[in-house]
Structure 1
Amino acid sequence: MPLHVPPAPAPALRSVLTALASPTAVREDRTPSLRTAQGPVTPELPLPVHVLDRITAEGVTATRLAGWRFLIRSGDRAVAAAETRLTPDGWAFSHFFEGPYIASTERALRQAETSTQPYQARLLSVPGLYMLTLWLHGDCASDGTTGHPAATDLLVPLAPAPPGIAAHRPHRVAELLPVLTLRVAPGQQPRVAPGQEPLLGSPA
């Protein structure tokens, strides 16, 4: 079955298109790959980025939507990504970045396309481990912005993954969550002021 990619909010997409069309419209510099890209570049495959804030003693995850990520394609491959974030005025462009997570995201999406079970594609960041996963959510009818990882959902750690966790190997949430619970001890969980949260999971 095809992988379901939820539609991004229109203002988020417009903000990325504006940043690509007019670099002077944003303060964030383009990445080297974007500066040297030949031909047109287009934002594709918008994925909602959820952050795993904490895991309770009962093993319940507390997640929140942090933004939308677009892969920026030039020719036949993605050369960078663009992040957007929610501001008091609505969705706005945040920054461009590149690095190993671009290729590993594409690889994980290709792998997920071969699944016989339908899933909705999301990204789940685990700041306490500097870890990013492709989150394959079972509720394909969701708009991608709400919900928590269900026990039967799949998490595919993207490369580079933390030591001891295999990248690009699908794990059911019920199997991977105990591992993350042990790794992310309560004293290690990040505490940041509301509104100051980085979109963790990218090396940029």
Structure 2
Amino acid sequence: MPLLSLQAPRPAQHSTLAALGSPAAAPVLRSHPGPLTPESPLPVHVLEGITRHEGPPPARLAAWRFLVRSGGRAVAAAETKPTPDGWAFSHFFGGPYLSSTEQALRQAEALAGVYQPRLLSVPELYMLTLWLHGDTAADPAEGQPAPTDLLVPLAPAPPGIAAHRPHRVSDLLPVLTLRLGRVTPLLDATASPAA
């Protein structure tokens, strides 16, 4: 099994469970019978300012996301956000990234090697990827994408970027920076584009 199981911070787990049990839970959840369980916690990192940095742009932890399951399938996602006091529930949502995340996680299970799963958002391109971090001992709340880490763009991906195809960071990041107008100099911009 190449994906590690991650533990979200306890306040993130507790606030999500409380929100699931609330009578004000999102209407999308009320239509599903049976118990709703938050599973597959993934830290959500944001990669901003791709063209403003020399070298790889920094990633910052922005949320923890859980897949909410009912009857063996994901019916929604729950997201928690950092607060001055720790973590608090933010919102439930559905949409295409839900099934795309499940598909990417299944794909990653079939890859050789062991990875720490994360999500990496690239707001400048309206893009979300499954980030397969090779440093399995790393704190999931910290760190930057390494050149040899894998990124699996989730559908819908930006035009010209293949969804559900694993790309090395060193191959995909130059493609993204070219799209936004500048090559990141510390990565090999001559690597074959991921399209």
TM-score by length of 2: 0.89
CA distance in 1, matches of 2:109, 2:27: 29
What is the CA-CA distance between 1:69 and the residue it aligns to? 0.2
CA distance in 1, matches of 2:150, 2:127: 15
CA distance in 1, matches of 2:166, 2:132: 9
After TM superposition, where is structure 1 displaced by more than 3 Å over at least 4 residues in a row?
Answer: 56-59
What is the identity, as a one-letter code, of the residue corresponding to 2:23? P
What is the CA-CA distance between 1:2 and the residue it aligns to? 2.9
2:92 alignment partner, SS class: strand
The alignment's C-alpha RMSD in Å is: 1.3
CA contact (8 A) 1:46 1:69 kept: yes
1:23 alignment partner, SS class: coil
Alignment-derived partner of residue 10 in structure 1: 10
Alignment-derived partner of residue 39 in structure 2: 44
The reply on whether 1:89 has 2:85 as its aligned counterpart is yes
Cα deviations by residue, 1:143-164 (Å, 9 ceiling, x for unpaired): 2011100000000000000000
CA contact (8 A) 1:80 1:98 kept: yes
Cα deviations by residue, 1:61-104 (Å, 9 ceiling, x for unpaired): 21100010000000121000000000112100000000110000
What is the CA-CA distance between 1:182 and the residue it aligns to? 1.4
The reply on whether 1:67 has 2:101 as its aligned counterpart is no
CA contact (8 A) 1:31 1:97 kept: no
CA distance in 2, matches of 1:183, 1:38: 44
What is the identity, as a one-letter code, of the residue corresponding to 1:5? S
Q: Which of 88, 109, 114 is the matching residue for 1:113?
A: 109
The reply on whether 1:23 has 2:23 as its aligned counterpart is yes
CA contact (8 A) 1:59 1:181 kept: no
What is the CA-CA distance between 1:59 and the residue it aligns to? 3.4
Matches within 5 A, 1:157-196: 157-185=153-181
The reply on whether 1:145 has 2:141 as its aligned counterpart is yes
Consecutive unaligned residues in structure 1, runs of 5 or more: 187-204
CA distance 1:108–1:31, shift in 2 (3 Å): farther
What is the identity, as a one-letter code, of the residue corresponding to 2:8? A
CA distance in 2, matches of 1:154, 1:5: 17
Matches within 5 A, 1:128-139: 128-139=124-135
Consecutive unaligned residues in structure 2, runs of 5 or more: 183-195
What is the CA-CA distance between 1:31 and the residue it aligns to? 4.1
CA distance in 2, matches of 1:65, 1:44: 19
What is the identity, as a one-letter code, of the residue corresponding to 2:15? S
Alignment-derived partner of residue 193 in structure 2: none
What is the identity, as a one-letter code, of the residue corresponding to 2:147? A
1:180 alignment partner, SS class: helix
CA distance in 2, matches of 1:105, 1:46: 12
1:66 alignment partner, SS class: strand
Q: Percent identity?
A: 69
CA distance in 2, matches of 1:150, 1:31: 40
